[in-house]
C-alpha cells in the first residue's frame, strides 16, 4: 500500500500520479491535500510518514512545489528515507542503494511526463541489500542515537 500526499503546489501532479497508480494496479491511500488551497506541507508529510511508521503503508509519495520541503519534513520522521528525484536515474538508484521509502517530487520543477518516468523508475526498482544494507543500517543507527 502506497501513501500519497501533496500541498497546493503538488495537487495537479498528485492527480496524475493517482491515475497512473490506479491504471497500473497499485493500491494507494490519499492523505490529502484534497484541493489547491494553501496548506502547510509538513502537515501532509507527517500524515504520509506516520502511515509508513504504523505499517499501514510500506511506501510514500510526497509532492510539493520543489519536493524539498516535503523531503526535509519527511526525513525528520524515524524510519523514513525520503529522496527528492527529478529524473529516473536517481529515482532508480535511491531504491536500489538507499532503500528509499518515500519519493518526493517538485511539480514546479519537472513536467508531468518526466515526473511519470521518475515514478515508474522508483516503483519498479528493488533494494539490493549487501553493502547497501550496511550503509542503511548506519543511517538507522545515527537516527537512534539522536
Catalytic (active-site) positions = 64
What end-to-end distance do the CA atoms of the chain give, in Å? Answer: 29
- List the x/- string, 60-99, binding to ligand RB5 by CB under 6 A: ----xxx-xx------------------------------
Classified as helix, coil or strand, 92 is helix
Q: Which is nearer to ligand RB5, 15 or 124 (CB)?
A: 15
| Whole-number Å distance between alpha carbons of 53 and 109 | 28
The C-alpha cell at 5 is 500526499
Q: Which residue has its beta carbon closest to ligand RB5?
A: 69
Nearest distance from C-beta of residue 126 to ligand RB5, angstroms: 29
C-alpha cell at 17: 500520479
Of residues 32 and 65, the one with the C-beta less far from ligand RB5: 65
Cβ nearer to ligand RB5, comparing 9 with 101: 9
State the helix-helix crossing angle for 88-98 and 131-145, rounded to 10 degrees: 80
Q: How far is CA 108 from CA 2, 16, 22, 87, 131, in A?
A: 23, 14, 23, 14, 35
Q: Which three cell numbers stand for residue 23?
A: 491504471
* Nearer Cβ to ligand RB5 (42/99): 42
Residue 11 lies near ligand RB5 (rule: CB under 6 A): no
Binding residue count for ligand RB5, defined by CB under 6 A: 8
Site for ligand RB5 in 34-53 (CB under 6 A): 41
Q: Which residues bind ligand RB5 (CB under 6 A)?
A: 7, 9, 41, 64-66, 68-69
Amino acid at each position: 500500500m502506497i501513501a500519497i500526499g501533496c500541498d497546493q503546489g503538488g495537487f495537479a501532479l498528485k492527480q496524475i500520479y493517482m491515475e497512473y497508480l490506479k491504471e497500473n494496479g497499485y493500491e494507494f491511500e490519499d492523505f490529502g491535500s484534497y484541493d489547491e488551497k494553501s496548506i502547510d506541507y509538513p502537515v501532509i508529510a507527517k500524515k504520509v510518514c506516520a502511515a509508513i511508521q504504523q505499517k499501514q503503508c510500506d511506501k510514500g509519495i510526497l509532492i510539493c512545489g520543489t519536493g524539498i520541503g516535503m523531503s526535509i519534513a519527511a526525513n525528520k520522521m524515524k524510519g523514513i528515507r525520503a529522496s527528492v528525484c527529478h529524473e529516473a536515474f536517481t529515482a532508480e538508484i535511491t531504491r536500489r542503494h538507499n532503500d528509499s521509502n518515500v519519493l518526493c517530487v517538485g511539480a514546479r520543477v519537472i513536467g508531468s511526463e518526466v515526473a511519470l518516468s521518475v515514478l515508474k523508475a522508483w516503483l519498479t526498482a528493488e533494494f539490493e541489500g549487501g553493502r547497501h544494507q550496511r550503509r542503511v543500517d548506519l543511517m538507522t543507527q545515527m537516527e537512534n542515537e539522536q
